[in-house]
Structure 1
Amino acid sequence: MFHDSAVALNCGRSALAYLWETKKIQKLYLPYFLCDSVVNECKKLKIDYQFYHVGPKLEPLFAESSSEGAWLYLVNYYGQLSNEEISRLKVQYDRIIVDNAQSYFQMPVEGVDTLYTCRKYFGVADGAFLYTDTQLERPLERDESHERMHFLLGRFERSASEFYSEYVANNDFFDNEPLKKMSRLTQNLLRGIDYSGIEKIRKKNFAFLHRELGHKNQLCLNENEGTFMYPFMTQNGALIRKKLQQEKIYIPTLWPSVKEWCSEDMLEYKYAEDILPLPIDQRYGEKDMMYIVNSIQKLVSLVESEECTQ
């Protein structure tokens, strides 16, 4: 397995729970632009938390000094946070946790607690990895995945839309799941994956979209080729997202809860509203990427022309 030397757990939330228990975390500084599962886990574990902002390059804008028992939670959005920057933040703040859920192939910085999740990248129902220098003293129950595989098998033989409700239910399932070891089924599936081939395809697709759409992208992306999705930010992103559904291109909103925490004049609100995470995964090739590019360019031009006539 990729990350074979890490602690193998049932989900990303369990990675945070593992650190809370071993590191005695009392408080977390969290970015406003964040999945609500992390916030919900903090509430569940009774971890005090405080939000901070991110900037125009998706970089952390955190200037406070961490108090005793407090940790800085860093989200590596679309792989835009380099290991050099993580190392600098480690020196500056010491107690940091890196969320590499969107950068699976980026290896951790030595001595930095780093977590990864598997569902965003591969055809598995669960699974997460955690790099840490502490070990849980109590034994953990092992998870079982066989009853949660139906939507994945169904999506392979039929359309994804038929099993969308099951997919959502599987995501929600982990809200109340306890900390467990990764299931044997998930581990076995992860041992049968061509990681280098998948990384190559994802980077190639990312580079293609950036080459074709980068000049219109309102995000300041660095030169590193991402492997999760291509974040295309445009004015009226929410409207374009709806129109893309008619083209059979389904773009998620990352993350809708952000708009509940933030006011409309905050950058994080605009990120949640207008960033279109475009698919680049290993199921797709250049023909698919060109279909996405053509659809995006057509809809952006259409929306711009409609604004001009109003």
Structure 2
Amino acid sequence: MSEVLKNEVRGIMYEIGSEFNFEKASRRQDLVALLSETAQNNDRYAEFLRCGRDAIGFVADDIIAKNKDEIRVLMPALACDSMVRPFEVRGIKVEYYKLSPELTVDEGYLTEKINNIAGEKITPVVLIMNFFGSAGIANVSKAIKDACRGAIIIEDVTHILLEPEKYIVKDILADYHVGSIRKWLGVPDGAVAISSTEFVMGALTGETDFTGLRTEALIEKSEYLDNGDQELKAHFRKLLSDAEDSLSDGLDPYHMSDVSAEYLSDLNIENIKNRRRANYKNLYRLLKEAPLFDKAYRLLPEIPANNDEYEYTPFMLPIVLDIDFMKRSAITDEGKNITRDGFERRLAKRGVYAPVLWPISKEAADTCANSGSFSDNMLAFWIDQRYSRFDMERVAEILRDELSRL
């Protein structure tokens, strides 16, 4: 029986046709202007870069220019290479700090690290992050400044990007905010860097291979979605890979392209927020109600809600697999040898792409077992504005079905 017929038996209908639904009109907005004006209204300065690692590199250059003393970066152990390399390529030493199983900061461990660095007459630069909008960092900045008043705080806001009025105003102790825009929308490039003082240096301008390759790839993906040409799919995926390879680890930060700025100038931001929140809520509920929840996988705490509206617009919805349980309960030879990456491939064969965020270094994993476990066992589901409730139901159904087939 097809998935469509199975859903009909369960009373879940994917409706095509019938009466139109009424959608409330909402004002289209300029995302660049929103971020810029929010920064300006809070005495901050915003610059728009090509990608997240360029934004981090741009901030690193600003810190170096404004500080004569040696600096050392403290990074959460769950940090991808693109967050670490912009500091390393500038000769800045990076150390890691611990996170809890829910990805909140181990404040005691962090403040001890800060005190040790400050005791060496080195300025601590601390990068903090509210992972997936559920790992609150409301008190972390104060703890950092209490430990060392001269510490420099960078908050990576990639996972909570669409609420600048919250993170800029809330975390007034942060010296910088950085965030990737291109992770949220179908644009060739885009990231933001925000500072509490005016940036000393400017970014490079001009066309780059990164933007050109990604522009071509995104156009080809649109064509693929229309015609399903597998050769086209292989080609645009290679273009995307080549684009990432063209980056210089944030060593030469470039401004965001005019193409992306123009696209971002006319967005239905409220619709994007509402769709993401609805998808997240539906998928979270479905995953939590599934028979193997808290056995084959666990969820992070749900994003805090206020009056039924999530505090932050969701970025993705991660799960953490229990591979040992999956192997123990498996009834097939393949199931008894399943790996996280193998299970990811099984989902992908059925059209559910759940990327790994993120592979981390051995040093980071050795520092924090929780981060190492998360990196080794997690998958993240897309819940963005491209999708609907029916897509979330399909994701949950395929996950349940694949777990039952092991």
TM-score by length of 2: 0.68
Distance 2:172 2:269 in 1: 22
Provide the residue aligned with 2:322 in structure 1.
235
Distance 1:259 1:202 in 2: 34
The answer to whether the 8 Å contact 1:252/1:276 transfers is yes
Provide the residue aligned with 1:218 in structure 2.
298
Provide the residue aligned with 1:14 in structure 2.
54
Once the 2 structures are TM-superposed, how far is the Cα of residue 122 of structure 1 from its aligned partner? 0.6
Match for residue 212 of structure 2 among 147, 154, 165:
147
Distance 1:90 1:260 in 2: 23
Provide the residue aligned with 1:75 in structure 2.
129
Superposed, 1:1-310 pairs within 5 Å as 1-2=30-31, 3-5=35-37, 6-24=46-64, 26-61=71-106, 62-64=110-112, 65-66=114-115, 67=118, 68-82=122-136, 84-89=138-143, 91-93=145-147, 95-107=152-164, 108=167, 109-112=171-174, 113-144=176-207, 147-148=212-213, 149-159=215-225, 161-162=233-234, 163-176=236-249, 178-214=252-288, 216=293, 217-224=297-304, 225=310, 226-236=313-323, 237-258=340-361, 261-262=364-365, 266-303=369-406
- SS of 2:179's partner is strand
- SS of 1:169's partner is helix
Name the larger-Rg structure: 2
Once the 2 structures are TM-superposed, how far is the Cα of residue 11 of structure 1 from its aligned partner? 1.8
The answer to whether the 8 Å contact 1:37/1:175 transfers is no
TM-score by length of 1: 0.88
The answer to whether the 8 Å contact 2:318/2:380 transfers is yes
Once the 2 structures are TM-superposed, how far is the Cα of residue 77 of structure 1 from its aligned partner? 1.2
Once the 2 structures are TM-superposed, how far is the Cα of residue 83 of structure 1 from its aligned partner? 6.0
- SS of 2:182's partner is coil
Provide the residue aligned with 2:4 in structure 1.
none
Structure 2 counterpart of 1:51, one-letter code: Y
> Which digits, 9 at most, give the CA deviation of each residue in 1:214-251, with x for residues without a partner?
35252341443452110112213433212101211122
C-alpha RMSD over aligned residues: 2.5
- SS of 2:298's partner is coil
Structure 2 counterpart of 1:131, one-letter code: I
- SS of 1:63's partner is helix
Distance 1:264 1:180 in 2: 33
Structure 2 counterpart of 1:198, one-letter code: I
Once the 2 structures are TM-superposed, how far is the Cα of residue 208 of structure 1 from its aligned partner? 0.8
Change (3 A) 1:243 1:138: closer
Once the 2 structures are TM-superposed, how far is the Cα of residue 86 of structure 1 from its aligned partner? 4.9
Distance 2:281 2:341 in 1: 24
Unaligned ranges ≥5, structure 1: 304-310
Structure 1 counterpart of 2:56, one-letter code: L
Change (3 A) 1:259 1:246: farther
- SS of 1:168's partner is helix
Bigger shift: residues 204-213 or 15-24: 15-24
Once the 2 structures are TM-superposed, how far is the Cα of residue 89 of structure 1 from its aligned partner? 4.3
The answer to whether the 8 Å contact 1:75/1:99 transfers is yes
Distance 1:291 1:89 in 2: 43
- SS of 2:198's partner is coil
Change (3 A) 1:150 1:227: same
Once the 2 structures are TM-superposed, how far is the Cα of residue 172 of structure 1 from its aligned partner? 2.6
- SS of 2:379's partner is strand
The answer to whether the 8 Å contact 1:11/1:174 transfers is no
Structure 1 counterpart of 2:153, one-letter code: I
Distance 2:133 2:358 in 1: 17
> Which digits, 9 at most, give the CA deviation of each residue in 1:13-61, with x for residues without a partner?
2222222222237211112211101222121111111111211111122
The answer to whether the 8 Å contact 2:161/2:179 transfers is yes
The answer to whether the 8 Å contact 1:104/1:227 transfers is no
Distance 2:374 2:394 in 1: 24
Structure 2 counterpart of 1:230, one-letter code: L
